[in-house]
Amino acid sequence: MISKQEVEYVAHLARLEIDDAQKDKFTSQLNDILLYIDKLNELDTTGVEPMSHAIAVTNAFREDRIVDSLGTEKSLANAPDGRGEFFRVPKVIE
């Protein structure tokens, strides 16, 4: 079972703010989902290699050759607060 405090903590980890009403709703919905997911513990998976990708591709190398990159102007074109060559953000420390 996930508690309301844990929901708060997970929200912080995910960089989300949730209000009290939403906290209650999320706690109960996440518990429903986690309860359902618990079903997996019926299965003994000792010794089963976890699968990460459907098609095993290792070392997907391509030729190392210089191609055009996006460039500063295009990279900053979508920035909410682009200044010169930088992405500007609010202050980090007092």
**Under the rule (CB under 8 A), what is the footprint of other proteins?**
2, 6-7, 10-11, 13-18, 22, 26, 29-30, 32-34, 36-37, 39-41, 43, 45, 48-55, 57, 60, 62-63, 70, 74-75, 77-81, 87, 89-92
Name the residue type at position 7. V
- Residue 4 CB, shortest distance to other proteins, in Å, is 13
Q: Which is nearer to other proteins, 24 or 77 (CB)?
A: 77
- C-alpha distances in Å from residue 23, one per residue of 13, 34, 65: 15, 16, 51
Distance of alpha carbon 45 from alpha carbon 34, whole angstroms: 19
Q: Which is nearer to other proteins, 24 or 33 (CB)?
A: 33
Length of the chain: 94
- Residue 18 CB, shortest distance to other proteins, in Å, is 7
Q: Are strands 82-83 and 86-87 parallel, antiparallel or unpaired?
A: antiparallel
